Amino acid sequence: MSASGPKRAERLLNLLQILYQHRYPVSGHWLAQELSVSLRTLYRDICALRVQGADIQGEAGTGFILSRSHHLPPVMFTPEQLDALALGLRWVAAYGDAGIAKAASEVTGKIRQGLPPQLKTLFDDSTLLVGKTQVAHHNPENLNSLRSAIRRRQKIRTGYTDRSGNVSERTIWPFALGYFSGDIVLAAWCEKRNAFRHFDVTRLTSLQLVQEGYPHSRYRLLRMWRNAGLDNTIPGRS
């Protein structure tokens, strides 16, 4: 395995980015394979980054981890990464609700502010475009409340009207919002059905936050939902 391939500066940045994505020590062998370099080259790169001020902890045999206090410079993006950012932010602006679209615009401004002129041009002129279709009207207050409940792990009491027009009262544990092209779907545990359910947020009424938190973290609920195979289905709403 040779040290050829990406230029050294780009390789060092890639190494930093890989380490930044991991919360636990990563073995030198795995890092070397990811970067397509020899283990010896990897160790030299880690030494070089430490000299430049990167707080990389660990050693050969135990693995390496980047201190969470270390911040990557926001200007260091590849052209492909800039395209990904531009496409993602444009999609959010087109299909997100008003609050999320506003946040996407703010993030776009922050990214542009930190880019050098040549990268700013690449970011602004990205030709990855998002087609616009008719988007359903969503109550911004409801969506703000739903996002708050998810972050704070709060139960919600709400009325819900299904596709057949049947109205029911539900107490649910919201843990995820799915943004589709024009629709926003809430994934939650429903106490009434004693099961995971998906709710079209435009059909939620009289939404009330409950001070009582639900017993699991949202991340655990998300894992349980995925393990149930629901992430690979078209959301059924009931």
Longest dimension (CA), the chain: 66
- 8-66: CATH topology is Arc Repressor Mutant, subunit A (1.10.10)
- Give the residue among 120, 207, 115, 218 at the shortest CA–CA distance from 173: 218
- pLDDT of 233 reads 46
CA distances from 121 to 10, 72, 115 (A): 20, 21, 9
State pLDDT tens for residues 16-72.
888 888 888 999 999 999 888 999 999 999 999 888 888 899 988 889 998 866 665
**Domain residue ranges of the chain, discontinuous segments joined by +:** 8-66, 79-124, 140-232
CA distance 36 to 53: 24
CA distance 180 to 135: 10
CA distance 92 to 202: 18
- pLDDT of 72 reads 57
**The pTM is what?**
0.62
- pLDDT of 232 reads 46
- pLDDT of 5 reads 41
CATH code of the region 140-232: 2.30.30
Query: pLDDT under 50 in the chain at which residues?
Result: 1-6, 232-236
Same fold, 8-66 and 140-232: no
Q: Are 125 and 79 in contact (CB under 8 A)?
A: no
- pLDDT of 200 reads 93
% the chain with pLDDT above 90: 41
